[in-house]
Amino acid sequence: MEVEQLLSLSGSALAQAVSSLLETPGLYVFSDILELPNVRELENGPHAPVYQLLNLFAYGTYCDYKERAASLPELTPAQRNKLRHLSIISLASNLKCLPYSLLLQQLELKNVRELEDLLIEAVYCDIIQGKLDQRNQQVEVDCSVGRDLGPNELPNIINTLQEWCTGCEAVLCGIEEQVSRANQYRESQLKVKVQVETEVSPSSCQLSALPPHSLSLSLSLSLSR
């Protein structure tokens, strides 16, 4: 089901449709669904648990679900797998080397075989890019897809961007100073060149103005001395 189709639904039909969307392959962003007016109405009513589950898929992790499982709908196998994928994305956004021990704990998997199968699946789904380091029991993450930004995350992102802008300004100032020094050096070298050429030119003119026999006589006198 497409997100746009949710607009015509309400009540139980909407709750069922939202639950089905949580299983949709390739869908890892849910904030646009949360913002739909009729979906927001689910928050206060008999279908509030479905809304809370949707909210958890947008911003939470598998550990968050386990902590609140008593008040949330039971996950289908597809939903459980999807939430584990989302949890890997969250972990990869903070760490580039994810130890197997951490993943086994956070995802509540029984053994390394299950974990590696899940990681390989995540790579094939383009959720993360990286490689499994079986010798060191970790996954090295090159990059990962993004998740929905929670309201509490925006201030940190703004601060990070401001720090980045400040750093860029400092680098730009440094480059401008280097360019200025280079231009000053170039101008000073040009002045020296002009000065040398100016001092050499009169002597050259004087020599060229002498008749050939005078130049020869001058050279002979110089040699006789």
Last residue of a domain, one of 117, 148, 179: 148
Do 10 and 90 fall within a single domain?
yes
**Same domain, yes or no, for 168 and 181?**
yes
Give the three-state DSSP class for 81.
Answer: helix
**Can you give the pLDDT at residue 136?**
95
Same domain for 84 and 25: yes
Please give the structure tokens belonging to residue 142. Answer: 């090159």
Q: Are 56 and 159 found together in one domain?
A: no
Residues 129 and 169 both lie in one domain: no
Is residue 57 within 8 Å of 28, Cβ to Cβ? no
- Give the Cα separation of 106 and 91 in Å (integer): 9
**Which residue type occupies 65?**
Y
Of 148, 178, 202, which closes a domain? Answer: 148
- 170 and 143 assigned to the same domain: no
Confidence band for 65, pLDDT divided at 50, 70 and 90? very high
Examine the domain organization and report whether 158 and 54 are in the same domain: no
Give the residue with greater pLDDT, 199 vs 179.
179
Tokens, residue 76: 């289908």
Would you state the pLDDT for residue 210?
Answer: 53
Residue 132: pLDDT band with limits 50, 70, 90: very high
pLDDT in tens, 13-25: 999 999 999 999 8
Alpha-carbon distances of 91 from 99, 209, 218, rounded to whole Å? 10, 86, 91
Count up the domains in the chain and report the number.
Answer: 2
pLDDT of residue 33: 93
pLDDT exceeds 90 at position 199: no
Mention every residue, 6+ apart, whose C-beta is less than 8 A from residue 27.
Answer: 21
The reply to whether 30 and 82 lie within a common domain is yes
Tokens of 144: 């990962």
Domain holding 192, by residue range, is 153-224
Average pLDDT over residues 185-211: 73
Burial class (CB in 10 A: 0-12, 13-18, 19+), 62: buried
pLDDT for residue 49:
97
Rounded CA-CA distance 209/65 in Å is 100
Domain boundary among 113, 148, 183: 148
- 143 and 164 share one domain: no
Structure tokens given for 141: 């993450």
DSSP run (H or E) holding 101: helix 100-107
Q: Is the model's pLDDT at 108 over the cut of 60?
A: yes
32 and 143 part of one domain? yes
Residues 121-131, buried b or exposed e (16+ Cβ, 10 A)? ebeeeebbebe
Length of the chain: 225
- 136 and 208 within one domain: no
Instruction: Clarify whether residues 128 and 195 are in a common domain.
Output: no
